[in-house]
């Protein structure tokens, strides 16, 4: 398990994009796949600082993608 801290840049259906800074380019950060249940438990807004626990299997796409297992709003 790995962690990534940053800012929510985009909230999509069952995906979020988290970037290391608030001023991010479209391909910055990581896209996390999240279950609807996890999003319902932790409603997210663009600009929130979060810490994401995820598996370490990042895709080679831009931005990279992986699966989130836990989201903590900081």
User: Domain 2-73 in CATH: superfamily?
Assistant: Nucleic acid-binding proteins (2.40.50.140)
pLDDT band at 26 (very low <50, low <70, confident <90, very high): confident
The whole-chain average pLDDT of the chain stands at 93
Both structure tokens of 32: 């996390």
pLDDT in tens, 30-40: 999 999 888 88
pLDDT band at 22 (very low <50, low <70, confident <90, very high): very high
pLDDT above 90: residue 71: yes
pLDDT band at 14 (very low <50, low <70, confident <90, very high): very high
CB 15 within 8 A of CB 29: no
Burial of 34 (0-12, 13-18, 19+ CB in 10 A): buried
């Amino acid at each position: 398990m790995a962690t990534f801290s940053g800012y929510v840049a985009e909230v999509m259906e069952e995906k979020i994009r988290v970037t290391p800074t608030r001023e991010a380019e479209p391909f910055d950060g990581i896209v996390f796949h999240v279950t609807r249940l996890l999003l319902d438990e932790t409603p997210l807004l663009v600009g929130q600082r979060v810490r994401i626990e995820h598996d370490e299997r990042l895709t080679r796409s831009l931005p990279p993608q992986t699966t989130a297992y836990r989201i903590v709003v900081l």
